[in-house]
Amino acid sequence: MTTTTLTKTQGSVLLAHTQQATAVVTIGSAVDVSTKMAAQVSIKMGRTVATALTNEVAFRLEASAKSSGNDEWYPISQWTSSDGKTAASSTTLNDASFNAGDTTCTLTSATGFAAGDFVYFRETGTPGNSEWCREKSVSGSVITLEEATTRNHTNGINVCDLSESWSFQVDCAAIGRLRLVVDTASAASGQTVDVIGWISTLDSASTS
């Protein structure tokens, strides 16, 4: 009987946490996948205010035809956000003890928040401490999350629903480099959104 062992690298940064203002193009650093078999790309976008976006945010996952330089990047997937032009529910955290490991928190107002919402807790002091969570239920001004939080959160930070996420599998057999581009310039978003991107790779498969 043979056994196949897969070696993977998980949680590499495709795009660092970015506060994406309107009329900006953010180009993530190139990720070398020349020795990888496949990749899983995962992107999240958080709303920062209730106001609807003027236009949806555009994304491009690009592959380079060359091993270096920036003159031969080509889109292998292009898409836009879906709910940006819908007004979000936005409030502030009213819970001084909302810490890592908690599954409930109190908001200043939970009006408009509902079970199933993808909620964004936006940390502006240390943006990388922001967090996306799925809402399980709401009672009054208290929301319950599907899973415990990973980080401590600052009382008074903005909390917004209508976050979005996407995930793609990429065959890396003939790809050397990948990067993510976020575009709020070709069709101005009108509002800031926060974006983060991750990549996990299948590095090798050995049979014994």
pLDDT at res. 1: 80
Domain boundary among 122, 137, 160: 160
What DSSP string runs through 92-118? Answer: EB--TT--TT--EEEBS--TT--TT-E
Pair (170, 79) in one structural domain: yes
pLDDT at res. 68: 96
Pair (109, 14) in one structural domain: no
Distances (CA, A) of 70 to 28, 132, 179, 182, 192: 12, 32, 11, 16, 27
Pair (142, 184) in one structural domain: no
Domain boundary among 145, 160, 175: 160
pLDDT at res. 124: 94
Pair (170, 81) in one structural domain: yes
For 19, phi then psi, to 5°, come to -90, 100
Pair (81, 168) in one structural domain: yes
pLDDT at res. 114: 98
pLDDT at res. 205: 93
Pair (168, 154) in one structural domain: no
Pair (110, 154) in one structural domain: yes
Pair (45, 133) in one structural domain: no
Residues in the chain with pLDDT < 70? none
Pair (172, 125) in one structural domain: no
Distances (CA, A) of 15 to 67, 87, 170, 179: 19, 26, 16, 8
Q: What is the pLDDT of residues 70-108, one digit of tens each?
A: 999 999 999 999 999 999 999 999 999 999 999 999 999
Torsional sign, CA 51, 158, 59, 67? positive
Pair (62, 11) in one structural domain: yes
Pair (79, 175) in one structural domain: yes
Pair (105, 42) in one structural domain: no
- Number of domains within the chain: 2
pLDDT at res. 201: 98
The CATH number of residue 51's host domain is 2.60.120.680
Q: What is the pLDDT of residues 136-156, one digit of tens each?
A: 999 999 999 999 999 999 999
Range of the domain at 104: 90-160
